Amino acid sequence: MKRIKSFFVAAAVLAVIPAMAQKSIPLVYDQEFAGSKYPAPAFPSVDEAKVTETLPNPFEFSNSKKQVKKFKDWEKRRAEIVRELQHYEIGEKPMIDKKDIEASLENNTLTVKVTRNGETLELSARITYPEGDGPFPLMIGASNNALPRQFFSERKIAQMNFSERQVNSYSQMGGFGGGERKDGRGTYAFDKLYPELVDNGAYSEWAWGVSRLIDGLEIVGAASKIDLKHIGITGCSYAGKMALWSGALDERIALTIAQEPGGGGAAAWRVSQTLGNVENLGNTDNHWFKISMWDWKEDNVSKLPYDHHELCALVCPRALLVLGNTDFEWLADEAGYVSCVAAREVWKKFGIEDRMGFSIEGKHGHCQLPQSQYPEVEAFIDRFLLGKDVDTNNVLHVNDVLQDKEVQKWIPWAQTGFK
């Protein structure tokens, strides 16, 4: 398919918020969840929820007609979306006091021990350092880093992989049917700490594990030689989802690069439901999500009070780059495209749309970044991990998999039109 470049933002829109205002919006935070102080919204059941055929308006507060007007409103609205995604989809990502965490760094290996409920969960992750004294930016690989390693080694960026099996197995359920649980939920390391969260999906627990590694880096402090204001995360395929969920739910992550995350990641459930043989809400890996999420499949998808454009938007105001691959139908990149365009409206609202980009290409293997996408990925790394003055505003590339007019129908609440 022909590769085209789409530009959705008119020059006049870029000038709405002055440069000084853009600079006042943080690139990263020093806490995991700044919105934890806000109460959860009401959670309607399937029978109570109203039908919304288009993607829900991310600026509209839950259970209210009030809308986000200024950036200071976003923290509260973001907290609502976090609660909804956890309640309906992945289960609770519990907060934990650092007094219950021990961390050490020896032979370039970070060890984190979390104690709760009389049980201790241990995480270990080897850090690969560049030459020099640091502090260095860090790229965390969700399970693994599928991006070219020279992107980081040539830039003096440290690297570390998160081993998700230390928290919960890739196949935590082992089987599913008739409400019966087989060889799965409740039997892994996380479950020993939190037996009351037996219904959790794996993505809440994996995101929890990533956050505990960041806790460990904070506890170790300067000895880690890591610049805590420049931490990134990336992963591909199921680990692309893991990277997106981790970046969405931990505000200490400055850059999230979700590579080919597919359904359950960037792709909007509502759009995926209209496509062919793709990963959609009723056709994905059960163990990654709460069992109750399947109450919303098929005819009930349009009743979800959120969709995955809002999962992407949780990264705002931090940086997000989504990479797609149109050669694999299963990835539902048509739905990923719509979701990314919709999510970018949130960054655009605050005049920081250059912190969110997407690039959807074909003609390459799964999790094998083509050279045509190298400059886009490198630009985001240079700007958001190294602090370089790089233009990232026009990283908006997409194959002709979906016409812009079809995107528009999904987001009638958007403030600007499309070319």
Angle at 226 between CA 224 and CA 229, to 5 degrees: 135
d(CA 7, CA 378): 20
Please tell me which residue in 104, 153, 302, 366 is annotated as part of the active site.
366
Tokens of 273: 């439901």
Alpha-carbon torsion angle 95, 92, 251, 156, nearest 10: 90
Instruction: State phi, psi for 114 to the nearest 5 degrees.
Output: -110, 125
d(CA 419, CA 400): 14
d(CA 98, CA 103): 10
If one counts every other C-beta atom within 10 angstroms of the C-beta of residue 30, the result is 11
Identity of the residue numbered 221: G
Q: Is 230 one of the catalytic residues?
A: no
If one counts every other C-beta atom within 10 angstroms of the C-beta of residue 195, the result is 11
Q: Is 397 one of the catalytic residues?
A: no
Single out the residue of 256, 397, 261 nearest to residue 336, CA to CA. Answer: 261
Single out the residue of 279, 268, 265, 295 nearest to residue 43, CA to CA. Answer: 295
Are 303 and 46 within 8 A, CB to CB?
Answer: yes
Please tell me which residue in 237, 272, 339, 359 is annotated as part of the active site.
237
Q: Which active-site residues does the annotation give?
A: 237, 366
